[in-house]
């Protein structure tokens, strides 16, 4: 999962993902004395070092930083024991150089270089594939690359557009490649869709059908009333318009199955690939087949190339295609997908919905058994049973990524009760700090140029639905799929969830940890800044580094969040 190098009282552990790498630093007591931070660079082929650039500076050297300014970490080091490289290349190799800095900002002294070579993973890992988009977060990089001019609607439908490629970050390419495997009459695709509107996906399915592959699609077709009439919804109307625009309903080898008898919503987003009539692969995760799904809100797709798993999804699809009413459907789903055992199980376990009550209690029990950490994403708040487990005063770290605070104040209070819980919310700094008219707050200027093209919708930041339990240990549990970890999602919606354990979980745990950390670190910084601003206690020096080693203290203060995080990742 990682490599570790030690030198001069320091250690560095590398945790590689596919497009990201986490570096976890640690230091012995004597090595911490006078430590100003870590200069971090990448060793070039000719031996030179490309020092990374940071956005926080020593005030003595840069008293008035400009919006968007970044400077070399050789002069302005990283003051944390965890750093992420979020611009790495899948499957690539890179050698990082970590150089401790002491002395003073004006007269730095450097410790020994710690070099750590890293080989990144590829999106295709063993029997699995993992694709994460950029995520609709305010991004200085987007501003720098594209001048805050987002892709037009026409450009968003072009997979080769440079902005689309940047925002998709391999997610759209992965979906098109998955569909593209169905080339010829020996293949079949079974699609389970809620929002089924993104032109590149529909066109790819039409091309697959044109090659001779059978393409069968279950999609949200409206809400069937008691008198058997079907009431169109916003989703079903948009689906029908997209199908009509592409001509998918008239295409040879395409069959459409409207799902209308659901209890709440038909929330699936999966595709099963069959060859010679046998299911061989499944594409699943949180990504709706929409522009927003691929280019806006944060999403993940998880591919499993295990026939037994694909077969389970195919059987579930066959049930969906009959458009069963909720009551009988629950019975069939529970027979296909019984509750998992409490202890260790198979590498892959499928959990389909709707199902009878009890699943959320089972999820909560798994959280309660965590030994080191839980990393959890919440698009629509947190279930009361999970919140109660997060509130338990037990010595494990909880990291929570939320779109917004839970509308239920009691559940949010439970979530925030324990000091070992860190919560990052979808925040746009310039929106709140400028609105609050905070005098002298460095960050309202700093991020004034930072914006994102997407302005419409319900979920802008966190749409993923995964939970990682003890992901940095030897026995991780990974839950990933379409369900939002709520009673409604498991008891009323059409949903699917995968539980990974054993070697399957160990293969992809570093990738999930990297991607979770990428979004968490980005939004946690904003969450704290906005919280201080609203409380009227915003710091005016937040954009500056400490000119001495005082920043180190919180990372070694027993019981502090920084100390526990350092110990977790080291």
pLDDT per residue as tens digits for the range 383-420: 889 989 988 888 889 999 988 777 778 888 888 888 88
CA dist., res. 3 & res. 125, Å (int): 18
Q: What CA–CA distance (Å, rounded) separates 433 from 439?
A: 9
Q: What is the reported pTM?
A: 0.93
Residue 210's pLDDT is 98
Q: What phi and psi, each to the nearest 5 degrees, are found at residue 213? A: -70, 145
Beta bridge partners of 351: 497
- C-alpha dihedral (448, 450, 452, 453), degrees to nearest 10: 70
CA 453, CA 166: separation in Å to the nearest integer?
Answer: 13
Q: Which of 7, 135, 145, 17 is nearest to 85 (CA)?
A: 17
Look at residue 412 in the predicted model and tell me its pLDDT.
Answer: 82
Phi-psi region of 53 (alpha: psi -120 to 50; beta: other; left: phi over 0): beta
Q: Could you tell me where in the chain the CATH 2.60.40.10 domains are found?
A: 3-119
**H-helix segments, 160-303:** 162-168, 171-180, 199-210, 234-246, 291-295
For the chain, residues classed under CATH 3.30.870.10 are 124-336, 348-550
Taking the C-alpha atoms of residue 41 and residue 555, their distance in angstroms, rounded to an integer, is 22
- What's the Cα-to-Cα distance from 130 to each of 305, 310, 347, rounded to whole Å? 12, 16, 16
Neighbouring residues of 465: CB distance < 8 A, sequence distance ≥ 6? 286, 377, 379, 480, 481, 482, 483, 484, 485, 497
Q: The CATH number of 348-550 is which of 3.40.718.10, 3.50.50.60, 3.30.870.10, 3.40.50.300?
A: 3.30.870.10
- Count, residues in the chain: 570
Which residues of the chain register pLDDT less than 70?
1-2, 67, 136-140, 148, 427-460, 533, 536-542
* Token representation of residue 220: 């949200």
Whether 108 and 101 have beta carbons less than 8 Å apart is answered as: yes
- 191, 236 contact by CB (below 8 A): no
Fold of the CATH domain 124-336? Endonuclease; Chain A (3.30.870)
DSSP state of 372: S
C-alpha 481/C-alpha 377 separation (Å) is 12
Helix 326-336, helix 307-321: angle, nearest 10: 170
Q: Is residue 456 packed enough to be buried (19+ CB in 10 Å), middle (13-18) or exposed (0-12)?
A: exposed
pLDDT at residue 269 in the model: 98
CATH architecture for segment(s) 3-119: Sandwich (2.60)
The single residue listed with the structure tokens 């072009």 is 158
- Asked if 524 and 385 count as a contact pair (C-beta separation under 8 A), the reply is no
């Amino acid at each position: 999962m990682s490599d570790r190098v030690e030198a001069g009282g320091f250690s560095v552990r590398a945790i590689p993902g596919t497009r990201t790498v986490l570096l976890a630093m640690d230091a012995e007591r004597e090595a911490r004395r006078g430590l100003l931070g870590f200069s971090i660079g990448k060793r070039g082929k000719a031996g030179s070092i490309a020092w990374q650039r940071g956005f926080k500076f020593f005030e003595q050297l840069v008293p008035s930083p400009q919006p968007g300014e970044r400077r070399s970490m050789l002069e302005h080091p990283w003051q944390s024991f965890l750093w992420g490289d979020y611009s790495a290349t899948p499957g690539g190799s890179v050698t990082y150089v970590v150089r401790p800095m002491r002395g003073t900002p004006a007269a730095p002294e450097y410790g020994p270089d710690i070099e750590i070579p890293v080989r990144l993973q590829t999106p295709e890992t063993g029997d699995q594939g993992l694709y994460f988009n950029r995520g609709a977060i305010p991004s200085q990089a987007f501003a720098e690359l594209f001048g805050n001019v987002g892709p037009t609607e026409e450009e968003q439908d072009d997979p080769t557009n440079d902005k689309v490629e940047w925002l998709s970050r391999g997610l759209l390419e992965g979906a098109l490649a998955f569909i593209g495997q169905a080339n010829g009459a020996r293949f079949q695709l079974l699609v389970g869709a809620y929002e089924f509107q993104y032109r590149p996906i529909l066109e790819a399915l039409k091309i697959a059908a044109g090659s001779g592959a059978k393409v069968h699609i279950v999609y949200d077709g409206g809400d069937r009333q008691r008198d058997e009439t079907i009431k169109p919804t916003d989703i079903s109307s948009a689906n029908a318009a997209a199908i009509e625009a592409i001509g998918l309903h008239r295409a040879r080898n395409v069959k459409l199955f409207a799902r209308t008898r659901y209890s709440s919503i038909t929330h699936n987003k999966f595709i099963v690939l069959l060859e010679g009539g046998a299911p061989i692969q499944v594409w699943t995760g949180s990504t709706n087949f929409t522009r927003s799904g691929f280019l806006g809100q944060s999403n993940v797709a998880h591919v499993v190339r295990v026939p037994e798993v694909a077969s389970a999804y195919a059987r579930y699809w066959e049930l969906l295609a009959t458009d069963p009413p909720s009551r009988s459907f629950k019975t069939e789903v529970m027979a296909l997908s019984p509750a998992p055992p409490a202890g260790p199980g198979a590498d892959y376990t499928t959990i389909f919905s709707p199902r009878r009550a009890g699943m959320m209690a089972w999820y909560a029990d798994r959280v309660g058994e965590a030994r080191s950490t839980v990393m959890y994403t919440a698009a629509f708040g947190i279930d009361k049973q999970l919140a109660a487990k997060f509130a338990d005063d037990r010595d494990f770290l909880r990291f929570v990524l939320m779109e917004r605070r839970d509308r239920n104040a009691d559940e949010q209070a439970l979530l925030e009760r324990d000091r070992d819980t860190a919560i990052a919310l979808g925040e746009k700094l310039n929106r709140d700090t400028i609105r609050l008219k905070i005098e002298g707050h460095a960050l309202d200027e700093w991020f004034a140029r930072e914006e994102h093209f997407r302005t419409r919708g319900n979920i802008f930041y966190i749409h993923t639905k995964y939970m990682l339990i003890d992901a940095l240990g030897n026995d991780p549990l990974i839950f990933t799929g379409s369900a939002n970890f709520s009673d409604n999602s498991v008891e009323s919606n059409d949903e699917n969830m995968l539980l990974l354990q054993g070697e399957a979980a160990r293969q992809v745990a570093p990738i999930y940890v990297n991607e979770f950390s990428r979004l968490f670190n980005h939004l946690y910084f904003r969450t704290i800044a906005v919280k201080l601003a609203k409380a009227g206690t915003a710091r005016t020096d937040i954009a500056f580094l400490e000119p001495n080693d005082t920043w180190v203290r919180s990372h070694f203060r027993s019981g502090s969040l920084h100390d526990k995080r350092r110990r977790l990742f080291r």
